Chains A and B, each alone.
Chain A
Amino acid sequence: MTASSQSGGPDAAGARAAAVSIVSPARATGWFRSQSSRRLAFGYLLLAPAVVYVLLLVGAPFLFSLYLAVSDANVGEQVSNFVGLENFGAALESEVFYVALRNSIIFTVVAAIFKGLLGTSLAFLLLQPFWGKKLIRGLVVIPFTLPITISVLSWKWMYDSQFSVINWFLHRIGLIGPYGSADWPIWLGEPHLALAACIVVNVWRTFPFSAIVLLAGFTSVPSEVLDAARVDGTSFMQRFRYVVVPMIAPILLIGFLFDTVFTLSDLSIVYLLTQGGPANASKILPVLAYQIGIQAGALGRGAAISLFLFPLLLPLMILLLRNLKRRED
């Protein structure tokens, strides 16, 4: 603009340009400032509904759950009193709480190991180029895409005490005796089998998720990087260890943390299969929190139990947060 006004002759266009260049420094900052404040105002206006919704229905309820946990709130009564740490104390004194805590941890850890193994092996197979990959991938991810309560129902029928198709198969290959014999397993009715049966459903449901996350990680490694490493004379194991693993580790970590949060806090599998039975053998913390908080109506007690999940979840969420932030930078 200035260049044109300097080089321009005394024609109309040049004069106009010169006039603009004289007034523009002062006006430009003003224009820019008003523009950026207008932009920000518009931005906050657009953000407001989502932020307000989340604050009102996630933030406030979370704080409210802290309050519930130190009160004697009950479903039937409007008024509640502060009772200090009584609810937490009551939980820590009850035997079923420890059973549920232990089962929750066993459930999450054992399920994670099997999901990891199945998911990794599946991901390596799906990495190969082969004909019909899309179809096969579409089939193996079905467990993850099916609504959870729907698939749990199917499993409940497969675990039927008498007409279990799993038992039919095990009997056919000679691993167990006929119905009524001592080694005919009643998956959901025997204390030492119930939790395992629930873990199987969780593994079945989420191993495709592990595989797909791993695949996403592998495909995010640019082939140029691998080629460059190959040119540098590295071995396959070196490339895997020093190039592939560091590049996919953040994605894997996110997938893992994500799944752990959901596994630890999910009640639907256990609730629908066993309700935590027989005799609390498969009771996990979410089921206990539901049974005390809603079924027994003791909101305070229930909130205290579900908050015991929080110390388990918090480190995971902090890890996840740090990971996401690093990816943003």
Chain B
Amino acid sequence: MAAPRTRRQKEIRRHLWIYGALTPYVIIAVFPIYWMVITAFKQEPDLYRMGVFPLWFHLPPTWKNFTYLFYNTSYGDWIINTMTIAAWVAVITLLTAVPAGYALARLRIPGSENLGIAIFMTYLVPAIILFLPLSRVVAMLGLQDNWWSLVVVYPTFTIPFCTWLLMGFFKTVPMEMEEAARVDGCGYPGALLRVVLPVSIPGILTAVIFAFTLSMQDFLYGLAFVAPGDQKPVTVGVPTELIRGDVFFWGSLMAAALLVGLPVAILYNFFLDRFIQGITGGAGK
């Protein structure tokens, strides 16, 4: 009887140690989000009071900061813009990256490994080097100050990343099924459409998620190409339009941040391992 109890006690003690050591990390990681939540629900006078414990409510919580966003600012427009941009970017990314990833992984194109790496490397050409020439391109297309410019520009980073990701993914789809289909007279296009694509839905879904979350991480392109308030995507509109000069409405600012940030963070959370696999050479596996 004594041995299992001490083992259990040992386990409990080990767990307490680990939890204790992890607590500071969790607090550091989560505190800014907690601060966002508490600020978003506080009444204005509750925010600006010195000398009281700021981490809790001293006046009843309110929805006012949220309703203010939708009635008095273009917040609703920005969310619609962001969703529409993301949808278009996802479509463009899928139409280009799925075929490219498949071709690089499965069709034994000479030099396909190098080509794959070359495409992935363009993901690393940073926006800060491309945004000035792209501003000319956007102007040439007549898209300046319009969110369509972002639909054109965001695929410059989603296509390389998703091609690389899908290349890794298509390598894991078993070859035999595809060959069987081809022997049955489907030909290459038929085998791709009827056999490979249906079993690749998870990989394709992942690519859609990344087209969406990577678009949400942009700031520079949105800032540089889209000036009118109602055309901005939400991640650019909130920090640029809701702050006017030196006047900060922290309540509604945090409400705005929370409402977009949290769903994206949760979604991304589920796909984070795929992201890490992708950049650390998922294609090699």
Contacts and interface: CB of A to CB of B under 8 A. Distances in A.
Contacts of B224: 290, 294
A141 B135 CA distance: 34
Interface in B17-33: 18-19, 21-22, 25-26, 28-30, 32-33
B269 A57 contact: no
A293 interface: yes
A49 interface: yes
Interface in A138-189: 138-155, 157-158, 160, 162-163, 165, 168, 179
Contacts of A45: 99
A49 B96 contact: yes
Contacts of B134: 57, 61
A46 B272 contact: no
A254 B18 CA distance: 29
Interface stretch (A2-10, A223-231, A319-327): A319-327
B109 interface: yes
B35 A165 contact: yes
A42 B26 contact: no
B285 to A, nearest CB: 9
A146 B156 contact: no
A150 B219 CA distance: 10
A195 interface: no
Contact of A148 (B103, B137, B152, B219): B219
Contact of A57 (B29, B153, B188, B248): B153
Contact of A153 (B131, B216, B223, B254): B254
Contacts of A58: 122, 125, 130, 156, 160
A266 B129 CA distance: 11
Contact of A122 (B25, B133, B238): B25
B247 interface: no
B226 to A, nearest CB: 12
A46 B103 contact: yes
Interface string B146-165: 00000011011001100100
A25 B224 CA distance: 63
Contacts of B159: 50, 53-54
| Interface size class, chain A | 35 or more
Contacts of A152: 239
> Chain A CB within 10 Å — which of B114, B129, B156, B213 has the most?
B129
A136 interface: yes
Interface stretch (A12-20, A236-244, A309-317): A309-317
Contact of B126 (A42, A262, A272, A320): A262
Contacts, number: 285
Nearest to A36: B108
Interface in B270-285: 272-273, 276-277, 279-281, 283-284
A53 B55 CA distance: 49
B95 interface: yes
B95 to A, nearest CB: 7
B235 interface: yes
Given A50-B97, A328-B113, A328-B117, A147 B132 contact: no
A299 B130 CA distance: 12
B104 to A, nearest CB: 7
A194 interface: no
Contacts of A163: 47-48, 50, 54
Interface string B74-116: 0000000000000000001001110110111001110001110
B127 interface: yes
Nearest to B259: A150
A280 interface: no
A265 B261 contact: no
Contacts of B268: 145
Contacts of A65: 129-130, 132-133
B249 to A, nearest CB: 11
B39 interface: yes
Given A39-B107, A154-B35, A324-B117, A138 B152 contact: no
A64 B136 contact: yes
Nearest to B32: A154
B219 A324 contact: no
Interface in A118-151: 118, 122, 125, 128, 130-131, 136, 138-151
A299 B100 contact: no
Given A44-B109, A146-B33, A165-B35, A68 B153 contact: no
A324 B260 CA distance: 35
6 closest A-B pairs by beta carbon, nearest first, are: A265-B126, A46-B99, A50-B100, A43-B107, A145-B268, A150-B261
Given A62-B129, A163-B47, A306-B129, 16 more contacts: A39-B107, A50-B96, A54-B156, A58-B125, A68-B136, A125-B25, A139-B30, A142-B33, A143-B29, A267-B219, A290-B128, A294-B135, A294-B224, A302-B132, A313-B124, A327-B281
Interface of B: 14-15, 18-19, 21-22, 25-26, 28-30, 32-33, 35-36, 39, 47-48, 50, 54-55, 92, 95-97, 99-100, 102-104, 107-109, 113-115, 117, 119-122, 124-137, 152-153, 155-156, 159-160, 163, 187-189, 213, 216-217, 219-220, 223-224, 235-236, 238-239, 248, 250, 253-254, 257, 260-261, 264-266, 268-269, 272-273, 276-277, 279-281, 283-284
5 contacts: A39-B188, A42-B188, A122-B25, A266-B128, A327-B284
